[in-house]
Structure formats: C-alpha cells, structure tokens
Amino acid sequence: MTPAIPETLRANIDRIQRMALVVGAIGVALCIVQLFLNQKAFFQSWLFAYLYWNGMVIGSLGVLLMHNVVGGNWGVVIRRIAEAAASTIPITFIGLIPVLLGVRTLYVWTDPNWAAAHPSVHIKHSYLNIPFWVVRALIYFAIMGIAAWRLRALGNEQDRAPDPGIFVRMRRFSAPYLILFTLTGTFAFFDWIMSIEPEWFSTMYGAMFLVGQMLQAFSFCVILLYLMQSWKPFAGLVKIQQYHDLGNLMLAFTMLWAYTSFSQFLIIWSGNLPEEISWYLKRFNGVWGGVAWFVSIFHFCVPFFILLMRFVKKNPRLLYLVAVWMVFVRLIDVYWVSMPGLRQPYFFTWTDVVAPIGLGGVWLWFFLYRLKARPLLPLNDPRLGYHELETHVIQDTPGIRELGYGRNG
C-alpha cells in the first residue's frame, strides 16, 4: 500500500520530482562536458556543489538527533522532512566520487614535492595522505548512514505500533550519537574543506560549518512545511506556535553561526600571525572581499533583525520567505569559504552555477522519492497529543490513521 497522501498533493510532488530529475540530469551532463573542456574548473565547481548539498543531509541528521534529545513539539511536523533529507546519504556518497577522482587536483598536499617544500604540511603526512583520507571519508559516511538508517527504522516501528518505549529508544540512541555526529562532522570538514589550505588551521572551523548546515536544514524544513501546510495530514495540525518555535531556532542558529564565525576571526586577528591571517587575506581582497561583505550583512545582520520580530515568526509566509533567503545565502557562504583557497585571483566559471543546480536536482528527486514513501506525519508519536492537538483530533483527521507504507519505505 502506498501512503495515503492526497492525490492532488501526490500529483504535485510527482511533477516536481520529474522536473528535478530532468534539470539535475541536464546539469550533471553539462558538468561532464566541462570535465573534458576544463578539468580543474569542473572539480572545483563540483566540490563546491557537493559541500553545499551534503551539508543539507548532514544538517538534517543533526536536526533529527537534536530533536530526539531535547524534545519539543516543533520537531514533530518536520520530522518526516528531516528523515527523508537525512536518508539521501546514498546520493551524496555517489556525489563524493568526483571529489575522490579529483583529489590530486583539489588538494595540494597530495603532491609530495609540494608537501616536502612546506614543513608544516609535511609533518602531517601520517594524517594527510590519500589512502587514509579515503578511509576516513568512508568512516564518516558509515557513521552518518547508520544513524539515518536507525532513526528511520525506529520511526517505521513507531508507526506500526503505539509503543511509548520506542520514543525512549530514539532518545537513548540519539544522545550519544549526537556527540559522535559532532565529532564526525568536524573531522569531515577538516578533511574536505580546511585541508584545501593545509598550512592553515582553526579549531572553530568544524563548529562553524556544522551550525551553518543545521541552519540550512531548518530553513529547508520550514520551506517544505509551508508548501504542504494546506494539505492533509498537515492541514489543521500545523499551528502558528510551531512556526514561531522554528523561527526561534533559525534565529538561534543564525546567532550561533555569527558567534563561531566572528570568534574565529577575532582570535586570528588578535594573534596577527602570518600563517593564520593568510586565510582571511585571500577572502577579504578583490571580488572575494565584496562577497565577504555580502555574507556578513545578508547571512547575519539582516536575518538577525528580521527574526527578532515576533510577528515575522508568527506569520508563516514571512518566515517562509526568510527561510528561502537563508537557503540561498548559505550557498554563497559555502562558495566564499571553499573557493578562495582554490582560485587566486578570483575567476568565475559557468559550472559554478550548473554544478549546484545539477547535483541539487538529482538530490531533490531522491529526497522527494524518500519523502512520499512514508506517512508525512509520524504516527503514534506521543508529542502529537499535546495541548490543542488532542487524540480525537488525530483520529478524526482524514489521512492520518489511514496512512500506510510504500514498498520503498
């Protein structure tokens, strides 16, 4: 039996899914053309696109783990969205293959002559070598894949039977795994991004990226929730308070992103060491300096003041528009963080646009495939029976108890 999603909603999802696949396939095909025209530009653009969309997956997994640990009614209505996004790990695993193929083009530490000429990098050879780098990538995906699979399996089990013990098992699994997730994400960003410039390092780097990706995931969930709020089973169940809570979380993670980013800058600026300030010198000069100002103003200042306003967070459409902007500005931030280490001086290539669209289209196609394979709301979740959402509301709402499972769920 397929999930009892309203036919009109299912038709819309199917239509968007087909469009995403077509756009994604065309984008990937154009990227392959660039591979033969300018191999270096292809690998650089693909790495940027990969970091962004893999961030959506990692951020969604972080949202799931955090919600299971801290609780809160805000997470119930976005849980299936986050679970579907986290379960797209196979797509991002495949997306890593071009990065592996281009590792010698993207990372200067893979050149033994270059590393030998730079003692601060050569001393890290036991860590920065291709075999160990690949093994670590496989370990990162294994850890995150196990977490996504386990949470999805527990969700399916909870849908089948109203056992309160399943919710306890989710929390017991998520609490230690949240720590492991943080460590895994931190080291993954060290390997995939920070090692582009192996002479530079920052202990704040992993936290800065993790926070940004969770902000990206929250924004994506708000967008999907708004687009589906008028359809069953969301209609009548999604309340203004849930939007308000999600808006507060977006505000909190916007502030936390700014805190980690500014803390890193302040520490390096006050130290004023040549080997540290080089990272910012690359990003504050020329075209990259303009991008830095754009990110500072529109990733923090403007969203911060907008999200401080309660009426914005209590207005679903306004919060939706803020979320759309945050998803876009996160793309610019990833571009600003990753590309200056590869392109000095700045130059633009058309695959900088095509690569994120192509990989994003394929990712969105698979995400929607995973989303529509299961009930859009978690059945038997004890947090559905709070305040105004009493049990009789759930039982009397068409499309809740009748929801089944897809063959691919």
The residue segments making up the domain with residue 96 are 7-396
Pick out the chain residues at pLDDT < 50: 1-3, 386-409
- Reported pTM: 0.91
Q: What is the pLDDT of residue 159?
A: 86
Question: Has residue 164 been placed in a domain?
Answer: yes
Check residue 73 and give its pLDDT.
85
- Percent of the chain surpassing pLDDT 70: 92
Convert the pLDDT of each residue in 254-291 to its tens digit.
999 999 999 999 999 988 888 889 999 999 999 999 99
pLDDT reported for residue 165 = 85
User: Residue 29's pLDDT is what?
Assistant: 97
Residue 334 makes CB contacts below 8 A (sequence gap 6+) with 48, 51, 52, 55, 212
Count of domains for the chain: 1
Residue 203 is assigned to a structural domain of this protein: yes
- Note whether residue 364 is domain-resident: yes
In a domain, 402, yes or no: no
Question: Tens of pLDDT along 183-207?
Answer: 999 999 999 999 999 999 888 888 8
**Which pLDDT tens digit goes with each residue over 326-374?**
999 999 999 999 999 999 888 899 999 999 999 999 999 999 999 999 8
Q: For the chain, how many residues are written?
A: 409
Residue 273 within any structural domain of the chain: yes
Would you put residue 387 in left (φ > 0), alpha (ψ -120 to 50) or beta?
A: left
Query: Is the residue at 142 inside a domain?
Result: yes
pLDDT at 387: 39
Does 401 map to a domain?
no
Query: Are 409 and 156 within 8 A, CB to CB?
Result: yes
Looking at the domain assignment, is residue 36 inside a domain?
yes
> C-alpha angle with apex 106: 206 to 50, nearest 5 degrees?
55
